[in-house]
Amino acid sequence: MPPKPPTTFDFRPGRKVGSRYVVETRLGGGSEGEVYQVRELDTGIRRAAKFYFPHKDPDRTQAVHHAQKLNALRYCPIVLQYHHSEIVHVRRQKVIAMISDLCEGQRLEDWIARHPGGRLPPYLALHVLYNLVQGLETIHAFGQYHADVHSQNILIRPVGVKFELKLIDFYDWGRPSKSKQRQDVRDAVAILHECVGGAKHYAKQPAEIKRICAGLNRTLILRRFPHMYALRKYLESFTWQSMV
């Protein structure tokens, strides 16, 4: 009988994977696979390793596209740096692992939840948005897109007066297009909406927040900000009329 498709690899700390790495801890998972913090045996350097469930990517096409996309965007600061792939054997099956930088920081969703009331004040939320928009604009400048930006696949780390953001879980949604890049604009605005407390607190937000969020009306958002450049320029130049 063929092996049962796994829903978790359940790697324990200390398990050796491949010829070069040992597992330290599980970082997260999803429908395609799981991500673990691993340590390189020879150097002690820690990396992130994404292990793909073999039944989800039997010909490794998804993993290859993921690696190629990360490599194409290697000069974008918001993108995790891809290093190489490893083939490991798990329960008599070949599993591909994509090895990339291990980044410090928290998932944005968790970071927001730690603030009073589980939301950010408007000015702080706009700073988070601005850093995200800068990163996405660079991705678009390389002719690429993300098209699945949400608070669970953004890592955030405050550094001085700025935020270091990293996007994780790039998916392959087909050839790049303006519509996919416009989806990034819409998703970035939705991040701002979430940062300030979502629908529950939206009515009390200052006009400057509402001008950007537009009630999450996709048509209105894209009319005001047809591309990431327009959103960035607006964030750099609008005048505050409200008290923050």
Task: Band the pLDDT of 4: cuts 50, 70, 90.
Answer: low
Which residue blocks in the chain are alpha helix, DSSP H? 61-72, 108-113, 122-141, 178-195, 199-202, 207-213, 218-224, 228-237
Helix, strand or coil, per DSSP, at residue 137: helix
Asked whether the beta carbons of 234 and 130 are under 8 A apart, the reply is no
Which residue did the predictor score with more confidence, 244 or 215?
215
- Among candidate residues 23, 155, 160, the one with its CA nearest the CA of residue 88: 23
Task: Band the pLDDT of 33: cuts 50, 70, 90.
Answer: confident
Residue 175: predicted pLDDT: 86
Q: What is the pLDDT of residues 60-76, one digit of tens each?
A: 777 888 888 888 899 99
**Domain residue extents for the chain:** 16-101, 106-237
Tokens standing for residue 117 = 């009331």
Residue 89: predicted pLDDT: 87
> Candidates 3.40.50.10490, 3.30.70.360, 3.30.200.20, 3.40.47.10; correct CATH number of 16-101?
3.30.200.20
Q: What is the pLDDT of residues 95-132, one digit of tens each?
A: 888 899 988 888 999 999 999 999 999 999 999 999 99
Which residue did the predictor score with more confidence, 148 or 214?
214
Mean pLDDT over all residues of the chain? 90
Q: What is the pLDDT of residues 150-205, one digit of tens each?
A: 998 899 998 888 899 998 877 667 888 999 999 999 999 999 999 999 999 999 99
- Distance set, CA 68 to CA 31, 82, 102, 184 (Å): 20, 9, 18, 20
Helix, strand or coil, per DSSP, at residue 95: strand
Single-letter amino acid, residue 126: L
Residue 6: predicted pLDDT: 67
Task: List beta partners, residue 88.
Answer: 95
Residue 1 in this model has a pLDDT that exceeds 60? no
> Candidates 1.25.40.10, 3.20.20.70, 3.40.630.10, 1.10.510.10; correct CATH number of 106-237?
1.10.510.10
**Nearest-angstrom CA–CA distance, 209 and 189:** 10
Residue 13 in this model has a pLDDT that exceeds 60? yes
